[in-house]
Every structure is written in structure tokens, then in C-alpha cells.
Amino acid sequence: MQAAERVLKTSGVGTGSARLISGTTQWHTELEAKLARFFGRERALVFSSGYLANLGALSALSRSGDLIILDKLCHASLIDAAHLAGATVRVYPHLNLDYLEKILKAAEGKKTFIVTDSVFSMDGDLAPLPELVALKNRYGAYLVIDEAHGTGVFGKTGRGVSEHFGVFNEIDVHIGTLSKSVGSFGGFVTGKSELVDYLINHARTFIFETSLPAPICAAAIEGLNLIEHEPKLREQLWSNVKRLREELKKIGAPILPSESPIIPVVFGDEKRTIQAAEFLLGHGFLIPAVRYPTVPKGKARLRITVSANHSSIEIDRLTQAFKQLLSHAD
């Protein structure tokens, strides 16, 4: 906040222009340089949101005649991007690599993109990136991942799930957001210089969109600094995740076996889920009900998102609130 406030006083709020006109400030340039250094890439390109980064990158890189293959639970922005590109779109059942390989075999000779979230936002599980890397190498495909929920959370240095699995350098197109662990706003793509140059000239959501406010860029730089220089925050996050997950299991909460700070509590029935959200709000916890069409019918849930700032007292209070909630259901 202090970083944003300092820039706000000198640069104001909006830039009033797209990046290629007069909307690039020193803060946009510094943020892109910071992202490139943080991820160990040649270049980075900042978009005005994570949604626009997905839309712009995928639609620019593929075209009619190409093939885009998506996991069924990919984020809506990736699905929209695939259809916007005009390429052939195929969807494989969630994490079903045998089905994915059948599609790849049938498509040999086509320019093919395997597209996935690294952390699936509604289930909290991880994409099997080592296996996806093996498949993309076997069939000559490109692997595009959205690290929206992985950046800052996974990996020794916080680079994401690809770092966690040791396949960071095998990812062809790395997309992320600045609105989750970074604590600001915006999206980005990192990669080789040729990739970034191509996107600058072909990604319509970059070319024709007003650029991020400079204070937002300054806040993002500071957020990346915290991720880079305060690893204890990541350690505290995982300690909190482990504690809450264990406590919820003890009381029999219907949680999914996620591998991330996203802990879904699945009630199934929408009315019951809404009532649960209202009950928890009355006890001081904002955990909105997630329903169709965000999740399939019959899979309504509460999605708990744990942070490093949550205290042991708050975790215990939430556990007790769930205990009361579940006892009322009985």
C-alpha cells in the first residue's frame, strides 16, 4: 500500500492510454523487468488482468487449423481464449492423461497446445505437470500453464507448481496473475524475447487495452519483493493449511483432498451450501457459496482460501464454527 501511495502522489491514477501509445510508464517497465528476473526468463509482458493475459496470449499464438487441448476444469478465461483463437478445441476429462494422449496421437502433425491451470481453482488439486511435459515432448506439442494460484505459493522460490515439480524450464508459455499472492492487480506472460515481441504485436488484449495504473504496478513490484525476500511467509502459509485441513478432517467436514491452500468443503445441495455460508458469515467468516455454473450441478461448495496472515486463533474459531454447522445438519 505504501508503494502504491508513493507513486499515486507523483503519477496519479490512470494512464489514459494503451501501452503502445502513451500508457507505458517507468513502473510498467520496472514491473516487467522484475517479473523476468523473478522467474528467470528473458522477458515478461504485463496485461491489465489475468483474464486478459490468458485471452491475449492463447488467441495470439494459435489460429485456425491448430489444436488446443484443455483440461475440463480449466479456468473460464482459458476456455474463452481457446474458442476466441478459432482453433479446434478438444477437452479431456479432468486429469485423465490416457484420454489426453489419445487426442495427441490422433492429432500428430498438427500444431498443438496443451493448456492447463497449475492449481485448479475450485478443487484445489494440481495439474500433473511432469506427465504433461513428457506428453508434450513425445508428441511435439506446446505446454501452456496458468499459474494464477501457484505463483508465490509453490516451489522453493515461489515460482509456482512448475518449480515445485522441477519442470519449470520445460514450460513453453507461462501465464500468471498479480491479483492473488502478489496482492495487486493485473496479469503477465513470461518467456523468451521472441515470445514477448510476438505478443506485443499480436495480442489484442495487450494492444487495445488501457494499461494498468502506475500505482498498481508499484504495488505489484513490492508484492514480488515480499515473495522473494520473505520465504517465512510461505512457510507460515503451509503451516496454516496443514493445521486447518487436519482440524476439519477431525470433525468430519466434507473436504476434498486438495494439495493447495484452496480447501473446498462440498455440501452438494445449493440451498444447504448457501445456508452454510450465511451461518459462517454470522460467525465472522466470509466464505461465499460456490454454485452452478461455476461448479457442476450437485457439487455446490464452500471454498476456503488460507493465507499466511491467518492466526492460530482464527483457524481454531473457524474449526469450531464448522463443528457447530455440521452438528446442526445432524
What the chain holds in terms of domains, given with CATH numbers, is 2-229 (3.40.640.10), 231-329 (3.90.1150.10)
* Distance of alpha carbon 27 from alpha carbon 91, whole angstroms: 39
C-alpha distances in angstroms, 328 versus 254, 314, 322, 324? 15, 21, 10, 6
Task: Provide mean pLDDT across the span 140-149.
Answer: 97
* Distance of alpha carbon 71 from alpha carbon 92, whole angstroms: 5
Percent of the chain with pLDDT over 70: 99
Written as one string, the DSSP assignment of 261-289 is SEEEEEEE-HHHHHHHHHHHHHTT----E
Active site residue 149: yes
| Res 160 pLDDT > 80 | yes
| Res 78 pLDDT > 90 | yes
* Distance of alpha carbon 89 from alpha carbon 77, whole angstroms: 14
Active site residue 323: no
| Res 330 pLDDT > 60 | no
* Distance of alpha carbon 131 from alpha carbon 137, whole angstroms: 10
Task: Provide mean pLDDT across the span 193-203.
Answer: 97
Task: Provide mean pLDDT across the span 128-157.
Answer: 97
DSSP 90: E
| Res 1 pLDDT > 80 | no
pLDDT tens per residue, range 98-119: 999 999 999 988 999 999 999 9
Q: What is the pLDDT of residue 108?
A: 83
pLDDT tens per residue, range 179-189: 999 999 999 99
pLDDT tens per residue, range 297-320: 999 999 999 999 999 999 999 999
Active site residue 260: no
SS3 56: helix
pLDDT tens per residue, range 4-48: 788 787 888 888 899 999 999 999 999 999 999 999 999 999 999
Q: Which of 72, 19, 63 is nearest to 210 (CA)?
A: 19
| Res 157 pLDDT > 90 | yes
Q: Indicate the pTM of the whole model.
A: 0.92
Residue carrying the nine cell digits 496519479 = 12
Which residues, at least 6 apart from 165, have a Cβ–Cβ distance to it below 8 Å? 129, 130
Q: Which of the following is catalytic: 28, 34, 180, 310?
A: 180
Residue carrying the nine cell digits 517465512 = 232
Q: Which of the following is catalytic: 48, 77, 118, 121?
A: 121
CA 143 to chain centre: 16
Give the H or E element holding residue 91: strand 88-92
Task: Provide mean pLDDT across the span 142-153.
Answer: 97
| Res 255 pLDDT > 60 | yes
| Res 329 pLDDT > 80 | no
Lowest mean pLDDT among 124-133, 288-297, 320-329: 320-329
* Distance of alpha carbon 129 from alpha carbon 135, whole angstroms: 10
